[in-house]
Structure 1
Amino acid sequence: MDLRQWFLLCITCTITTALFSCTAVSRAEVTRRNETDRLTLLEVKSNTVDPLGILSSWNSTVHFCHWHGVTCGRRHQRIIILELQSLQLSGTISPHIGNLSFLRELNLRNNSFISAIPPEVGLLSRLQVLRLNNNSLTGPIPQAITRCSNLTSLLLAQNMIEGNVPADIGSLSRLQKLDLRGNSLTGTIPPSVGNLSSLEYFMVSRNSLGGAIPNTLGNLRNLRQLALGENTFVGTVPSSIFNITSLELLDMGISQLKGSLPWDLGVTLPNLYFLSVAYNQFTGPIPRSVSNMSSLSFFIMAANGFTGSVPSLAEVRGLSLFHIAVNHLGSGEADDLNFLCSLSNSASLQKVDASQNNFGGAIPECIGNLSKTLNAFSLSDNALSGSLSSSISNLINLEFLSIMGNNISGAIPPEIGDLINMKQLHLGYCQFIGEIPDTLGNLTTMTHLSLRENNLRGTIPPSLGKCNSLILLDLGSNKLYGAIPPEITRLSSLSIYADFSMNNLTALPEQVMHIVDPFLFQDHQDRDNMQDNNRIIKIRECLVSIIEIGVICSTQLPQDRLRMSEVVVALQGIQKKLLAAY
């Protein structure tokens, strides 16, 4: 062997020895780190209450990479995903979770974990998704979480987390989803949120956040959903927010906001499917440009100070909810409700509420052209006149109808009895005339019927006795007469309210026993002898006399009522008769 060959052999041996040595060290290091992951999971298990026994697989008989909810990477066999959502788990989140240094996703949502989020979560430098929503977590959002620079989703909604949103939350430059809804957060929205250029979802509704909405939110050019509702903000909405053309959902309801909506709202936010500014202090008109929001499904502007006319929404064909109640819309003119006709283009319309405004004129005939999916329709407390069109019967899935508190007259259309899905029918405080339609008895699932303070005449139709789900029946202050049908007095469901007052009704003696507490007679009926039977008869006669006095005192015309002195004399006579029975 020459010198050259000998030299090459020495080098080869040296390299081979080094490689074997490094491989042995590397394997030892991998084993050590794998053991760290396994021990961490056991610590997590020891802090967790597991009523379904889901974590029973976390034992030495199976490699931890095959434990329930655990996913490991192929190369290093390190845990990259821990997914334990919706398993009825409780307890606390172990601070040892910070030892899972390869973890990319932690999903514990829809459980009942309590206590605070451990700050050790900030050690998870590879973490991309943190889902802890729908638990019972308390305490603050740990400041250390802003060190998780790879986070794309931070989902902490529906907990009891308190304190401030970390001021430097804007350092999470890769964040796409930030959902903090339904907690007890205070303080303000940090201006640094505007640095999250990749953010698509920013949800902080249902907290106690205050102060002004930062203008920097307008920098979020990729934002699709912005939920700020149910907080205590002050001032106006920054104009920059109305220029985020990518927005699909904008919720600012119940947030004490002021100002007006920009005239070009529908131009700058053409992609909205959800718009809520309800229960604020907005004024001015509803922008006519909203007709440009062709994707709009939820239009919620209730309880503000909006004025003027309601624009046509004929180009909005996917509307599901239209809620403009409690404003100052309309001018009392005949064409105030023309916008309702434009809603007939929305084939999926379910709810329309335009109550408590200043709308005048008649309810247009076109309401019968609204979608058959409509289940709730309210025009109550306006200044409407005219009659109720029989075309209302086309809305076959209607469950709630209220036009109370208007000047609507004419007869109640008998076709209303075709609305067999009706649950609540409120036609009170209007000027309806004629008789109560017998067809109302077809509404057998109805729970509430109010016809109070109209000019209805005739008798109460016995067919109402078929409405055996009725818990509220208000026929007071009309011009009804005759007997209250026994079919109605026998309705056991009438548990909340039944009012027949201010009519000319009578109650037959045989009906008395259906409307009084049967326990009044329990002792006498149990003994079942001649003396007690006679006593029951006397008591019944006294009750009939009392009801007759009540009916006469409730007649429509004051001159037809008993004088107080006559009532006293009559009641004294009843008292003597009742005492004689004992």
Structure 2
Amino acid sequence: MRRLLMLLVVVSMSTLILSATEVDDQTALLAFKAAAISTNDDPLVSWNSTGAGVFCSWEGVTCGARHRRVVALRLPSHGLTGILSPAIGNLSFLRTLDLSNNGFRGDIPGNLGRLRRLQYLDLSSNAFSGELPANLSSGTNLKFIYLSFNQLHGCVPSEFNEKLAHLEVLDLMNNNLSGTTPASLANLSSLTDLYLSYNHLKGTIPPGLGGILGLENLDLSFNNLYGEPPCSLYNLTSLETFQLQLNRFHGGIPTDIGSRFPKILYLKIAANQLSGPIPSSFSNLTTLQHLILCQNKISGYVPPTLGKLRALETLYLLDNMLEADDRSGWEGIHHFTVKLQQAPGIRYQQKH
């Protein structure tokens, strides 16, 4: 009898604990709603009902199958404005947070770093204007961070390092970030996509980025970066897009570039101060679709081997120092002329 009584007490305590945690989640969601002003007819009208576990059926809320705890909050394009309530950091079981394409403003709550189970964070296309919280690096299970198209300022935190061992995508493009590109990013060993374009970053590219061998998309364009792109970047054999345009880089294009990027689709390094010739080894980049080299100081003849790039759709060479005469410089152009007749979608531009 005594054992049975003790068992009932344990079960009752467990029930009370579960109820308390459910209340915590519901309270956090209601605080979120109160801070998120809607510009549309109330998109969260279903959030008016309350009761044990009812919040699991609210718009955009997903609860776990084995417990009534919030594991996902997905409200993209719901016309929400106002601020993002710090109470969101109390959803301790949250794995997915998608509030993209709304109108949230102010700071991104620093206590998002408390969400140790969070894997997917998408706050892109809002109006957040504070600094990027350094303690996001505490979310050691994060795989995807999308914060593009906001008004974030300050530096990219150096705390973004090996703590984020599972991070695959870091998208910070189209913000007001300044300072240098932290060398600590080289420790994001699982990274496949790094987007830092359309910011105000300065300084050189950390050579260590060339050690992230799984990197598929690297976009550092439209910043104030300078110097010579590190040779290590040309070791990124998994790259599909490589964009450095509209910076102040100098130096030449490696002569063996054709053996460096076997999967490349987009190679855009326009509007810099690159010099030297166009390597003939470009012809080995058989997957290349877009080659943008315009507005540099590239000189010499256009290699006739460029005509072998059968996948090429866009070639921009204008505003360089290229040469051509009656005998040389036109052979590759002839191949593109033929291709223009066969596939009118291809675009070729060169200033003579």
- Residues 21 and 307 (structure 1), Cα distance of their counterparts in 2 relative to 1, 3 Å cut: same
C-alpha deviations, 1:334-365, integer Å up to 9, x for none? Answer: 44222123336xxxxxxxxxxxxxxxxxxxxx
- 1:148 alignment partner, one of 135, 139, 150: 139
Residue 118 of structure 1 aligns with an amino acid whose one-letter code is P
The 2-side partners of 1:57 and 1:169 are apart by: 37
Q: Which amino acid aligns with 2:302?
A: V
Q: Does 1:327 align with 2:320?
A: yes
Aligned counterpart in structure 1 of residue 296 of structure 2, from 304, 321, 329:
304
Instruction: Specify the code of the residue in structure 1 equivalent to 2:20.
Output: R
| Distance in 2 (alpha carbons) for counterparts of 1:22 and 1:329 | 82
TM-score (norm 2): 0.95
* Mapped pair 1:342 → 2:335: yes
Corresponding residue for residue 99 of structure 1 = 90
| Residue identity in the other structure for 1:180 | L
Deviation, structure 1 residue 370: 4.6
SS across alignment from 2:229: coil
Contact 1:71 1:81 (8 Å CA) reproduced:
yes
Could you tell me how far 1:367 is from its partner in structure 2? 7.0
1:404-419 to structure 2, matched below 5 A, reads: none
Q: Which amino acid aligns with 2:87?
A: H
The amino acid across from 1:159 in the alignment is N
State the secondary structure of the residue aligned to 2:262: coil
Please give the secondary structure, in 1, of the residue aligned with 2:142: coil
Structure 1 window deviating more from structure 2 (323-332 vs 279-288): it is 323-332
CA drift at 1:277: 0.4
Q: Is the 8 A contact 1:130 1:153 kept in 2?
A: yes
C-alpha distance in 1, partners of 2:11/2:333? 77
- Partner residue of 2:44? 55
Matched residues in 1 for 2:3 and 2:336: separation? 81
Q: Equivalents in 2 of 1:371, 1:76: separation in Å? A: 57
Q: 2:220 aligns with which of 220, 223, 228?
A: 228
Task: Measure how far apart 1:378 and its partner are.
Answer: 4.5
Partner of 2:100: 109
Q: Hey, what does 1:130 align to over in structure 2?
A: 121
Q: How does 1:367-386 map to 2 (within 5 A)?
A: 369-374=341-346, 378-379=349-350, 381-382=351-352
Any idea what the Cα deviations from partners look like across 1:220-266, whole Å, max 9, x if unmatched? 01100000001111211010001110111100000111111111112
Deviations 1:63-97 (A, max 9, x none): 10000000000112100000000112111100111
SS at match of 1:139: coil
CA distance in 1, matches of 2:76, 2:102: 7
Partner of 2:7: 19
Task: Say whether residues 1:82 and 2:73 are aligned partners.
Answer: yes
Q: Which amino acid aligns with 1:300?
A: I
Distance 1:34 1:116 in 2: 27
3-state SS of paired residue (1:86): coil
Partner Cα separation in structure 1 for residue 42 and residue 215 of structure 2: 41
Deviations 1:11-61 (A, max 9, x none): xx4433322211111111111111111111111111112223211110125
Alignment of 1:462-501 (within 5 A): none
- Residue 332 of structure 1 deviates from its aligned partner by 3.1
**C-alpha separation in 2, matches of 1:237 and 1:190:** 15
Match of 1:174 among 166, 171, 178: 166
Please tell me the residue identity of whatever aligns with 1:372.
P
- For 1:197 and 1:368, locate their aligned partners in 2 and report how far apart those are by CA, in whole Å: 42
* Aligned AA (1:308): G
Partner of 2:233: 241
1:197 aligns with 2:189: yes
Q: Which has the larger radius of gyration?
A: 1
Deviations 1:393-415 (A, max 9, x none): xxxxxxxxxxxxxxxxxxxxxxx
**How far apart, in 2, do the equivalents of 1:282 and 1:34 lie?**
59
Tell me the percent identity: 36
Q: Calculate the TM-score normalised by the size of structure 1.
A: 0.58
Counterparts of 2:32 and 2:287 in 1: how far apart (Å)? 46
Residue pair 1:52, 1:87 contacting (<8 A) in 2 also: no
CA contact (8 A) 1:52 1:88 kept: no
Q: Kindly tell me: are residues 293 and 367 of structure 1, through their superposed partners in 2, closer, same or farther at Cα, counting changes over 3 Å?
A: closer
Following superposition of structure 1 onto structure 2, how do residues 433-512 of structure 1 map, counting pairs within 5 Å? none
Does structure 1 retain, via aligned residues, the 8 Å contact 2:185–2:209?
yes
Q: Deviations over 1:171-212 (max 9, x none)?
A: 211100000000010111111111111000011011000111
Relative to 1, partners in 2 of residues 1:368 and 1:303: Cα closer, same or farther, differing over 3 Å?
closer
Q: CA 1:271/1:304 → structure 2, altered by over 3 Å: closer, same or farther? A: same
Unpaired runs of 5+ residues, structure 2, are none
Partner of residue 553, structure 1: none
Report the aligned-residue RMSD.
1.6
Amino acid at match of 1:53: D
CA distance in 1, matches of 2:32, 2:66: 24
Equivalent-residue separation in structure 1 for 2:94 and 2:25 (angstroms)? 10
CA contact 1:204–1:229 (8 Å) conserved in 2: yes
Letter aligned with residue 225 of structure 1: N
In the alignment, is the contact (CA less than 8 A) between 2:159 and 2:184 conserved in 1?
A: yes
Counterpart residue type for residue 158 of structure 1 = F
For the structure 1 residues 317 and 331, does the alpha-carbon distance in structure 2 shift closer, same or farther, using more than 3 Å as the test?
closer
Give the gaps of 5 or more residues in structure 1: 1-12, 345-365, 383-582
The whole-number CA distance in structure 1 between the counterparts of 2:41 and 2:281 is 54
1:377: how far off? 5.4
Asked if 1:33 corresponds to 2:24, the answer is no
- The question of 1:291 aligning with 2:283 is answered yes
The count of residues paired between Structure 1 and Structure 2 equals 347
The correspondence for 2:199, drawn from 200, 207, 218, is 207
User: Structure 1 residues 262 and 377, CA, compared in 2 at 3 Å: closer, same or farther?
Assistant: closer
Q: Report if aligned partners of 1:270, 1:294 keep a CA contact under 8 Å in 2.
A: yes
Does the residue aligned with 1:202 lie in a helix, a strand or coil? Answer: strand
Matched, 1:317 2:310: yes
- 8 Å Cα contact 2:209/2:233 also seen in 1: yes
Verify the 8 A CA contact 1:340 1:367 in the aligned structure 2: no
